[in-house]
Amino acid sequence: MVSATQMATEMPLAMHMSDGLVNAPTAVGFGLVALVGLAIAVHRARADLDDRTAPMAGLVTAFVFAVQMINFPILPGASGHLLGGALVAILVGPWVGSLCIAIVLVVQAFLFADGGLTALGTNIVNMALVGVLVGHAVATMMRPLARRGRAGLVATAFVAALVNTVVAALAFVLEYAIGGAGGASLGTVAALMLGLHVLIGIGEGVITAATVGAVAAVRPDLVYLLRGAAAPLEVRGSAS
Amino acid sequence: MSAPAGNRRALGFFLGFLAVALLVAGGLSYFASPDPDGLDTVALDGCEVVETDAGEQLQGTCIAQHAGDHAMAGSPLADYSVGGGEGTVGLAGVIGVLVTLVLAGGLFWLLRRRSPGKR
């Protein structure tokens, strides 16, 4: 039997969807979407992985695991944490990035009992697929700005992260609309998810901007978003 | 830039990156907010957490009432603790970072394109 005080300290450390928030068909359906998405990601990731970027991708994954542990306060009684979609998309690309987040979610679910096993499909769709691909889309749209200099890159990272957080939250709303277990009206869930995740997205943006900015300061060649450009950042002399 | 110097520089950057991840998971984790995150806040909306002899109960109507117990609740690292011990979140975090690094690094290393000539 778990004591009440233990529960009180342990409960908030569950960070992702638990089992039972959506019905079984919805969980299975999104599980299949997750599998197909990850299979495509594995296939496409190979082109982005070499002797230099493979270790980088491993470290980025470990870093996301670490930073996801850090819940930051957003409102009295509510916190948020990094999802990491834009962060991985900018540093290692969308396909490798999707695999990074999926690995974090698998480790969290199986070792740390965080995020239900039957909810793994929905969690992977929301954060590893939707979050990463949206973060990638925004970052790609802003790439001309990102390549102009450090301020542009940091601004791109912030905006991409803010948008990835909000859209990943809306993906949960969609799942709840399709097969939610009930307990709250769809309108309430949508409004609360949106409002809270705009605030969390600001935190996500700050963390993502700081991380991408720091990596670009030392190793701009390891920033996926800047690859292929005659990177103006290297003019600063930090790259050679 | 000669290859050995480049490799040394890359190794230095990678070790620094790992050190930051270990510090965040092993140290900063003690200062994380204990409040429910965005999703949990929504799931708990409409309920009041009441402490009873049988542990915490949710009173009212909310999504979280439908949440099942976690199948891995018996894991030695469940809820970011080591064996349920107080104050072990940092150690749990360090273990998590290393496990994640080995899993992800191993997978990405296997998936990578081999350099020409090494085939």
pLDDT digits (tens, 9 = 90+) for B20-71: 999 999 999 999 999 999 999 999 999 998 888 878 889 999 999 999 999 9
Give the angle subtended at the CA of B7 by the CAs of B1 and B10, to the nearest 5°.
Answer: 105
Q: Is residue B97 part of a domain?
A: yes
Query: Which residues of chain A are within 8 Å of residue B51 when distances are taken between CB atoms?
Result: 4, 8
Q: Domains in chain B: how many in total?
A: 2
Query: Which residues of chain A are within 8 Å of residue B1 when distances are taken between CB atoms?
Result: 240
Residue A109 and residue A180 in contact, taking contact as beta carbons nearer than 8 Å: no
pTM recorded for the entire structure:
0.91
Asked if B58 and B89 sit in the same domain, the reply is: no
Asked if B6 and B59 sit in the same domain, the reply is: no
Q: Is residue B45 part of a domain?
A: yes
Secondary structure (3-state) at A53: helix
Q: Give me the residues of B, 68-97, that contact A with CB < 8 A.
A: 68-73, 75, 77-81, 84, 89, 92-93, 96-97
User: Which residue in B32, B45, B70 is closest to A188 by CB distance?
Assistant: B45
Residue A130 and residue A29 in contact, taking contact as beta carbons nearer than 8 Å: no
What pLDDT was estimated at residue B52?
84
Give the range of the structural domain holding residue B101, as residue numbers without chain letter: 1-32+77-119
* pLDDT confidence tier of residue B13, bands split at 50, 70 and 90: very high
Asked if B83 and B110 sit in the same domain, the reply is: yes
Distance CA B104, CA A69 (A): 18
The C-alpha of A45 sits at a distance from chain B's nearest C-alpha, in angstroms, of: 8
Beta carbons of A70 and B28 less than 8 Å apart? yes
What pLDDT was estimated at residue A238?
45
Asked if B28 and B60 sit in the same domain, the reply is: no
Average pLDDT over residues B9-25: 95
Asked if B59 and B21 sit in the same domain, the reply is: no
B66 touches chain A (CB under 8 A): yes
- What structural domains does chain A harbor? 20-225 (1.10.1760.20)
Distance CA B104, CA A55 (A): 9
User: Which residue in B20, B34, B103 is closest to A107 by CB distance?
Assistant: B103
pLDDT averaged over 10-residue windows placed end to end, chain A, 240 residues? 38 75 96 98 96 96 98 96 98 98 98 96 98 98 96 98 98 96 94 97 98 96 84 44
Query: Which residues of chain A are within 8 Å of residue B38 when distances are taken between CB atoms?
Result: 74, 78-80, 169, 193, 196-197, 199-200
Query: Which residues of chain B are within 8 Å of residue A44 when distances are taken between CB atoms?
Result: none
Asked if B25 and B81 sit in the same domain, the reply is: yes
Asked if B38 and B52 sit in the same domain, the reply is: yes
Asked if B117 and B92 sit in the same domain, the reply is: yes
Asked if B38 and B28 sit in the same domain, the reply is: no
What pLDDT was estimated at residue B109?
97
Nearest to A74 by CA among A204, A233, A214, A213: A204
Query: Which residues of chain A are within 8 Å of residue B33 when distances are taken between CB atoms?
Result: 12, 71-73, 79
Q: Is residue B39 part of a domain?
A: yes
Nearest-Cα residue of chain A relative to residue B55: A4
Q: Is residue B72 part of a domain?
A: no
pLDDT digits (tens, 9 = 90+) for A98-142: 999 999 999 999 999 999 999 999 999 999 999 999 999 999 999
| Residues whose CB is less than 8 angstroms from the CB of residue A223 and which lie 6 or more positions away in sequence, other chains included | A90, A91, A153, A212, A215, A216
Asked if B105 and B81 sit in the same domain, the reply is: yes
Report in angstroms the alpha-carbon separations of A27 from A16, A35, A208: 14, 12, 30
Asked if B61 and B83 sit in the same domain, the reply is: no
pLDDT digits (tens, 9 = 90+) for B83-111: 999 999 999 999 999 999 999 999 999 99
Secondary structure (3-state) at A222: helix
What pLDDT was estimated at residue B3?
62
B2 touches chain A (CB under 8 A): no
Q: Is residue B17 part of a domain?
A: yes
Asked if B24 and B40 sit in the same domain, the reply is: no
Q: Is residue B61 part of a domain?
A: yes
Residue A193 and residue A177 in contact, taking contact as beta carbons nearer than 8 Å: no
Distance CA A27, CA A121 (A): 7
Query: Which residues of chain B are within 8 Å of residue A17 when distances are taken between CB atoms?
Result: 39
Q: Are strands B55-60 and A78-80 parallel, antiparallel or unpaired?
A: unpaired
Residue A115 and residue A190 in contact, taking contact as beta carbons nearer than 8 Å: no
